[in-house]
Structure 1
């Protein structure tokens, strides 16, 4: 329910507020995982599912884990998810940012040629990471001791066709295990995939006896230095300890406990 609310808002790069791809389309990803059963579901590169996280939840009910593109959209419609016209996701501010990005890159062929020539892509120069809004995620611990995590995103502004980030990849952008914690990630997806970030943090807790804060800091503040990675993680462990770590300028985050106490943060 939390992620659906965020997807319905134009303020975040997920659902209604998703960024535009290189081709001027909107392609969204989402995933969800249950810590008790390790069941998981995800969708990627979808354009007509109003709430991708709802589709991911439906996938989790099957024997499969990840559906993509038109197949994911057909599956979502068959299982009662709301389908909308792609124009529903259009927002003026993201469209203007995309046009500005295209102008910054120059003629389209410059970026395409760099791909054909197998030259490395600079995410700071060629793919604009949204500094004002971003991927949304949620981690929870219920009264029965079960953990769950979910993540939803529109991806990188001006991303190339077919590109998939970490958000729909279980173990990279989303992970939950009742033995350790639930984690959701945000940032440059390729960095989280390389480090299998969410699962790595969980493994540090399970096999090296790290606390949840130590595990997150080890991944984000230390191991990400190896690849100059950028991003952050939120987590809650099996005891209800809430943690976060990021190496960017800031990360919007908030929490509420069983007493109804609310906390919100942006920077330190």
Structure 2
């Protein structure tokens, strides 16, 4: 009997929030969407050539980390000291192996460092200077802090500091941002990866859900792969990425039901924005968010490419 290969799927998000059309120029919106397409095509090329889901999400997120339009790698948010502290994680649904990095300040592509750590039994997670030092031993490219800073992020930090002085509130789009990808490969394996600079003006040393397996990133063969975006503390409190898998496995919910329910129960009533990109074992794609918009895109099992920013 001939085994029919699984039809590959890849999906990504580039962060959610109250994304005013005026936040970016038309050219910037177009450039951001072009980088989403580039990231999807990078991941899909890996899958089309028989590569693994892990390789695909790493390739996809790396492109987004290199783009100035997203809060990860080049273009990451600045903390309260005007520095970049980068978080990332990756997980293989076939083996439950995972790797994570928190508070890195020099590695160009944190997702690649997380992938290197995934191959280690101990440690699977490193933080701060130790993470950057390990990146050097693994031959990964490191950069000065100035590489990660863009004019837009410097302006966002100034705006957040002004909000603090005046006692006014910042919009979600001024604060947050994350990138992530999920994939299903031709062998039927799932994987997920997430990367972020955290939120603008965050406390020095703060670590969000993007570095926490089960909170912002989770993958398990036979169930789903998940990457999250939004207020990280809430995703950690509710172990959202894993909870979605649990709702499917033990509660018999569909992927979409699980994602919608947790946003409706644990985020929306508290006025907290969140977004989820996920796929299940059949290649069903889920893109749920309770904000005005979420950068998102995918290439489905039929090879059709889709990219969107807002609800419309």
Q: Deviations over 1:62-92 (max 9, x none)?
A: 0122110001111111012111111111111
Q: Which residue of 2 aligns with 1:118?
A: none
Query: Aligned to 2:156, which of 97, 100, 104?
Result: 97
Q: CA deviation at 1:104?
A: 2.5
Q: CA deviation at 1:101?
A: 1.7
Q: Closer, same or farther in 2 for the Cα pair 1:128/1:27, shift >3 Å?
A: farther
Q: CA deviation at 1:248?
A: 1.0
Distance 2:203 2:171 in 1: 12
Q: Closer, same or farther in 2 for the Cα pair 1:192/1:231, shift >3 Å?
A: same
Contact 1:232 1:251 survives alignment (8 Å): yes
Query: Aligned to 1:210, which of 253, 268, 275?
Result: 253
Distance 2:264 2:178 in 1: 20
Contact 2:88 2:114 survives alignment (8 Å): yes
Query: Aligned to 1:175, which of 189, 195, 218?
Result: 218
Contact 1:191 1:230 survives alignment (8 Å): no
Q: Deviations over 1:79-132 (max 9, x none)?
A: 12111111111111111221122122129xx9xxxxxxxxxxxxx83x764359
- RMSD over equivalenced CA pairs, Å: 1.8
SS at match of 2:213: coil
Query: Aligned to 1:7, which of 65, 74, 89?
Result: 65
1:54 lines up with 2:112 in the alignment: yes
Contact 2:80 2:202 survives alignment (8 Å): yes
SS at match of 2:130: helix
1:200 lines up with 2:243 in the alignment: yes
Q: Closer, same or farther in 2 for the Cα pair 1:211/1:195, shift >3 Å?
A: same
Contact 1:128 1:156 survives alignment (8 Å): no
More helix by share: 2
1:245 lines up with 2:288 in the alignment: yes
* 1:77-88 to 2 correspondences below 5 Å: 77-88=136-147
Higher mean displacement: 95-104 or 203-212 = 95-104
Contact 1:231 1:246 survives alignment (8 Å): yes
Distance 2:159 2:195 in 1: 25
Q: Which residue of 1 aligns with 2:276?
A: 233
Distance 1:47 1:73 in 2: 7
Q: Which residue of 1 aligns with 2:234?
A: 191
TM-score (normalised: structure 1):
0.89
1:157 lines up with 2:200 in the alignment: yes
TM-score (normalised: structure 2):
0.77
Q: Which residue of 1 aligns with 2:17?
A: none
Q: Closer, same or farther in 2 for the Cα pair 1:5/1:132, shift >3 Å?
A: farther
Structure 1 gaps, min length 5: 111-123
Contact 1:128 1:158 survives alignment (8 Å): no
Number of matched residues? 252
Q: Closer, same or farther in 2 for the Cα pair 1:223/1:128, shift >3 Å?
A: closer
Distance 1:157 1:128 in 2: 11
SS at match of 1:12: coil
Structure 2 gaps, min length 5: 1-58
